[in-house]
Amino acid sequence: MSQAEVKPPGPVVEMLDVSITFGAVRALDEVSLRLLPGEVHALMGENGAGKSTLIKALTGVYTIDSGRVVIDGVETQFATPAAAQHAGISTVYQEVNLVPNLTVAENMLLGREPRRLGRIDRREMNRRAAASLQALGIDVDPASELGSHPIAVQQLVAIARAVDTDARVLILDEPTSSLDADEVARLFEVMRRLRDHGTAIVFVSHFLDQVFEISDRMTILRNGRVVGERLVEETTQLELVQLMIGRDLQVLERLDHAAHEATEETSAEQRLPVLSAVGLGRKGSLEATDLNLYAGEVVGIAGLLGSGRTELARLLFGADAPDTGDLTVKGSSRRRLRSPRHAIDRKLAFCSEDRKAEGVFGELSVADNMLLGLQASRGWLRPIPAITRSTLVSEFMTALDIRPADPSLPMRSLSGGNQQKVLLARWLITEPDVLLLDEPTRGIDIGAKTQIQQLVADLAEKGMSVVFISAELEEVLRLSHRLVVLKDRRKIAERPNRGIDVNDVLEIITGEPGGLVEKEWADA
Amino acid sequence: MPESPGTVKALGARALAHRLFWPLAALGALLVVNLIATPTFFNVRIQDGHLFGSLVDIVRNGAPVLLVAIGMTLVIATRGIDLSVGAVAAIAGAVACVYIVKSPADGAAGTAVVAVTMALAVCVALGLWNGFLVSVVGIQPIIATLVLMVAGRGIAMLVTGGQITTVNNDTFAALASGHLLTLPVAALIALGVFAATQIVVRRTALGLLIESVGINPEASRLAGVRSRTIIWTVYVFAALCAGTAGLIVAANTHSVNANSLGLWIELDAILAVVIGGTSLAGGRFSLTGTLVGAMLIATLTRTIPNIGIPAEANYLFKALVVVIVCLLQSPKARAVLQRRRDRTPTGPSREEAVV
């Protein structure tokens, strides 16, 4: 807003009030984005905020429903990704889209190989590739096979290829998610060079520190809307996270809060934990972590994406095998859970965040989906008797208000919220002692969301131990009796949920602005 | 009862949409073709208390393919495939025949019983091997079973010593040519296995768990399904079915030729499964569909000589029918046909979901 004095270079790309609707979902709601030449522009937002959709709208993957895209002052609408690329907008995705068994040079010049007498001129190709690589300071032999290099180098090659097609806009979608610190530094080096040559770079990343290190400006999205455009140097991590997560419901939360603080007073410490993890960890996913779960208690796990939330739940359930640590369930002998099967036998249940890939059987009926957990633990020789089947199914269809109320429908015909309820029913039917819920309310409508939250509260009241993971801090704070905060794959705090609000949690996560931040290190 | 044309039409549409409509239609069409070529084709007569006739022959001759296809259906439902069934059939035949020949009482009924039991025990071991490679070692099923497909013929050769082994045992021969209650034993075995499998799969939870493993292996694991056991079970079952088929084939010729017994039967079996509407991508399966598919293939084999198609064109003709049936079943082809029928323009749909 305040950049009128010094006449800035005109934006390379200007997206104005762009909207896209998928079915009933407004994926982008009048989103505007300006990219200036010679800047690194971070696109920030939680999952589902609309970052990918925005990129795809710009690069011609999706057609926009309304709004304008102006490139260099000319209104444009790309029909295909190729057209966007032709206009100088290149994208490098998280997964490298190159051919691993071709050489680096071949990959870089794929589709526009230099030819001599109708044949590919290899020497010229290698020379050109070497020149472009050198210009970016990437030290790779162009004649070597691409697949022989680590992912980081492949990514740099992909960038070199993208830039080589005279890209004036380079979009990097989560380029650093599989890189280690040195590799990130190398990538940033290349990005800075490009920026200094006038390229506009869009940088999408979940790593806040990296965003603050490399970016000049950022646009923050939430629920398909732009909630802010900021200069990085004038913004704190705390402000950014507040914008990303949103705090609309804060007043309501406080009310909710007061309600369950009273019940939570029965001190947990005197009781024996239902589940106790000591030093539980796995290389690359979570540092050694201690955690006790008690009956009748909801433990909320807070942390940003990539903080290790999901990893913690998977380790507790044995979905991933831990490298270190011990897990005791109900005081049983110390033993790690090596498979979900073990966990289920010990009365654990786990609702994965990835409903589609890790929960739903689309072609099976709702009833089968619901009963699969129980059936699996009974084994195939002991089918659930028809009467029990119909009683259980109708009981949970009603209790969880699953619609349409026809259990014979294929699961895939249900909405996300109802599918989630069916999955919850699958686990509730197994009568677990410990229920691990990873993002149980993600991507479902507000009605179902409230119902699930209510259910969690009721279950805990009846004595179940619940772990509740959600990207929405309000939700975590509303439901949990105890709060565990994760950051960068480590537990950084654990405390009773008493008088904590969203700001406090954000302060713990970002380490700003100090004061209250007393870290309770759990590991030895 | 006057029925409104609307209901008839709706009923017709429902029949058309049924999974088994086209395979059944093809089966019917083939039978009609045969009837035109040989007006006595449908004749069935009782001779010496046995049922005889072309239709009976089709079921009898189709028994081995049906057996193999039943096992194959369950394997395919778990996203697998078993290429080794032909070789397993050969091994089963070889073990049984060699045992009978080597036995001092090579004509006794008891010898045949021991021989069959032994052969099936060997099949269990072979199925365990396949299941081990797939579920424990984690090799892709097509490769894992290719091992035994190739090696199995060698094993059968070793068992027979490379000779065509001929047996003379009436009890054993009865597996193929015997009759029980006027019906051929081979057909009874195959239909019996079909019925038993259908009951076990649908009355216990086995069918559900097999489908869940085939539809979404990761979700199954997280739901606590013992996928390993399930996968192991279906490969052992497939080997048992293949072995039984091999015994029937060997009994039919009173001999075993390790090189040719059950050769390419895996392909016929896979075809039967696919024609029956079970997707090679795993998941939902239909044993009834497989039954129809196997009968279609058996009828086809019978039709070719019956309508005077030269033996050389045999495979080509078979391929043609299979392609037609599969085309008619494919959702894409159906959609095209449907569109031509309705002539209603449909707008482009945007199917991408918001992530």
Q: Backbone phi, then psi, for A27, in 5-degree steps?
A: -80, -35
Q: Which residues of B touch A47 (CB under 8 A)?
A: 355
Q: pLDDT: is A307 or B147 the higher one?
A: B147
Q: Which residues of A touch B354 (CB under 8 A)?
A: 22, 25, 27, 48, 53
Chain A residues with CB within 8 Å of chain B CB: 22, 25, 27, 47-48, 52-53, 62, 317, 319, 339-341, 344-345, 350, 352, 357-364, 368, 372-373, 375-384, 426
Closest residue, chain B, to A345 (C-alpha): B224
Question: B293 near B69, Cβ under 8 Å?
Answer: yes
- Closest residue to B204, CB basis, from A47, A350, A380: A380
Total count of residues recorded for chain B: 355
Sign of the Cα pseudo-torsion (A177, A182, A185, A190, in order):
negative
Residues 6 or more apart whose CB falls under 8 angstroms from that of A274 comprise A293, A294, A295, A329, A330, A433, A434, A465
Number of C-alpha atoms within 13 angstroms, CB side, residue A90?
16
Q: Backbone phi, then psi, for A273, in 5-degree steps?
A: -70, 145
Answer yes or no: is the ipTM higher than 0.85: no
Question: A95 near A115, Cβ under 8 Å?
Answer: no
Query: Rounded distance, CA A343 to CA B222, Å?
Result: 10
Query: What is the residue whose two structure tokens read 């984690």?
Result: B138
How high is the pLDDT of residue A177?
67
How high is the pLDDT of residue B292?
93
How high is the pLDDT of residue B351?
40
Q: Backbone phi, then psi, for B140, in 5-degree steps?
A: -60, 135
Exposure pattern of A417-435 as b/e (b: 16+ CB <10 Å)? bbbbbbbbbbbbbbebbbb
The pTM score is 0.70
How high is the pLDDT of residue A515?
36
Sign of the Cα pseudo-torsion (B126, B128, B129, B133, in order):
positive
Q: How far is B225 from chain A (nearest CA, A)?
A: 5
How high is the pLDDT of residue A522?
33
Question: A205 near A43, Cβ under 8 Å?
Answer: no
Helix (H, G, I), strand (E, B) or coil at A29: strand
Do the chains contact at B211 and A363, CB–CB below 8 Å?
yes
Share of chain B above pLDDT 70, in %: 91
Closest residue, chain A, to B355 (C-alpha): A48
Do the chains contact at B222 and A352, CB–CB below 8 Å?
yes
From first CA to last CA, the distance across chain B in angstroms is 54
Question: B351 near A23, Cβ under 8 Å?
Answer: no
Do the chains contact at A48 and B354, CB–CB below 8 Å?
yes
How high is the pLDDT of residue A249?
42
Do the chains contact at A48 and B205, CB–CB below 8 Å?
no
Q: Which residues of B touch A383 (CB under 8 A)?
A: 203-205
Query: Rounded distance, CA B141 to CA B131, Å?
Result: 9
- Closest residue to B212, CB basis, from A319, A350, A372: A372
Other Cβ atoms less than 10 A from the Cβ of A252: the count is: 11
How high is the pLDDT of residue A524?
30
Binned at pLDDT 50, 70 and 90, residue B67 comes out as very high
At B171, the amino acid letter reads T
User: Average pLDDT, stretch B157-167?
Assistant: 86
Query: What is the residue whose two structure tokens read 């190159």?
Result: A98
Query: Rounded distance, CA A129 to CA A107, Å?
Result: 9
Nearest to B50 by CA among B177, B173, B170, B179: B179
Listed in sequence order, the DSSP H helices in A466-501 are: 473-479
Q: Backbone phi, then psi, for A127, in 5-degree steps?
A: -65, -50
Tens of pLDDT, residue by residue, chain A (524 residues): 444 444 456 788 889 999 988 776 778 889 999 999 999 999 988 766 788 889 888 888 888 888 888 888 888 888 888 888 888 888 887 666 788 888 888 888 887 778 777 788 888 888 888 888 887 778 888 888 888 887 778 888 888 888 776 788 999 888 776 676 777 888 888 889 889 988 899 998 877 778 888 999 999 988 888 988 999 888 887 788 778 776 544 434 443 544 454 444 444 445 788 888 888 888 878 888 999 999 889 999 998 777 888 899 999 998 988 888 888 887 676 566 678 888 898 889 999 988 888 999 988 999 999 999 999 988 888 899 999 999 999 999 988 888 788 899 889 888 778 888 999 999 999 999 999 999 888 767 666 777 888 889 889 988 899 999 988 788 888 889 999 999 888 898 898 888 888 888 888 888 765 433 333 333 33
- Indicate whether B233 pLDDT > 60: yes
Torsion of CA A178, A180, A185, A190, to 10 degrees: -30
Q: How far is B213 from chain A (nearest CA, A)?
A: 10
As beta bridge partners, residue A422 has none
Q: How far is A100 from chain B (nearest CA, A)?
A: 22
Q: For residue A100, what are its two tokens?
A: 């691993």
Domain ranges of chain A: 13-245
**CATH code for the part of the protein at A13-245:** 3.40.50.300
Q: Which residues of A touch B204 (CB under 8 A)?
A: 380-383
Closest residue, chain A, to B283 (C-alpha): A363
How high is the pLDDT of residue A246?
67
Query: Rounded distance, CA A316 to CA A276, Å?
Result: 9
Do the chains contact at A357 and B216, CB–CB below 8 Å?
yes
Other Cβ atoms less than 10 A from the Cβ of B8: the count is: 10
How high is the pLDDT of residue A99?
83
B205 in contact with A, Cβ within 8 Å: yes
For the B26-308 domain, the top CATH level (class) is mainly alpha
Question: A107 near A146, Cβ under 8 Å?
Answer: yes
Q: How far is A377 from chain B (nearest CA, A)?
A: 7
Query: Rounded distance, CA A180 to CA A190, Å?
Result: 16
Query: Rounded distance, CA A484 to CA A481, Å?
Result: 10
Sign of the Cα pseudo-torsion (A6, A7, A11, A12, in order):
negative
How high is the pLDDT of residue A64?
86
How high is the pLDDT of residue B6?
57
Q: Which residues of B touch A340 (CB under 8 A)?
A: 221-224
Query: Rounded distance, CA B165 to CA B169, Å?
Result: 13
Question: A439 near A302, Cβ under 8 Å?
Answer: no
Nearest to A352 by CA among B218, B204, B47: B218
Query: Rounded distance, CA A328 to CA A335, Å?
Result: 6
3-state secondary structure chain B: CCCCHHHHHHHHHHHHHCCCHHHHHHHHHHHHHHHHHCCCCCCEEEECCEEEEHHHHHHHHHHHHHHHHHHHHHHHHCCCCCCCHHHHHHHHHHHHHHHHHHCCCCCCHHHHHHHHHHHHHHHHHHHHHHHHHHHHHCCCHHHHHHHHHHHHHHHHHHHHCCCCEECCCHHHHHHHHCEECCEEHHHHHHHHHHHHHHHHHHHCCHHHHHHHHHHCHHHHHHCCCCHHHHHHHHHHHHHHHHHHHHHHHHHHHCEECCCCCCCCHHHHHHHHHHHCCCCCCCCCCCHHHHHHHHHHHHHHHHHHHHCCCCHHHHHHHHHHHHHHHHHHHCHHHHHHHHHHHHCCCCCCCCCCCCC
How high is the pLDDT of residue A95?
65
Angstrom CA distances, B130 to B69, B235, B279, stand at 17, 6, 21
Query: Rounded distance, CA A85 to CA A168, Å?
Result: 10
Closest residue, chain B, to A54 (C-alpha): B354
Other Cβ atoms less than 10 A from the Cβ of A209: the count is: 12
How high is the pLDDT of residue B250?
92
Q: pLDDT: is B85 or A143 the higher one?
A: B85
- Indicate whether B161 pLDDT > 70: yes
- Closest residue to B209, CB basis, from A27, A362, A380: A380
How high is the pLDDT of residue A446?
65
Q: Under the phi-then-psi rule, with left for phi > 0, alpha for psi from -120 to 50, and beta for the rest, what region is B101?
A: alpha
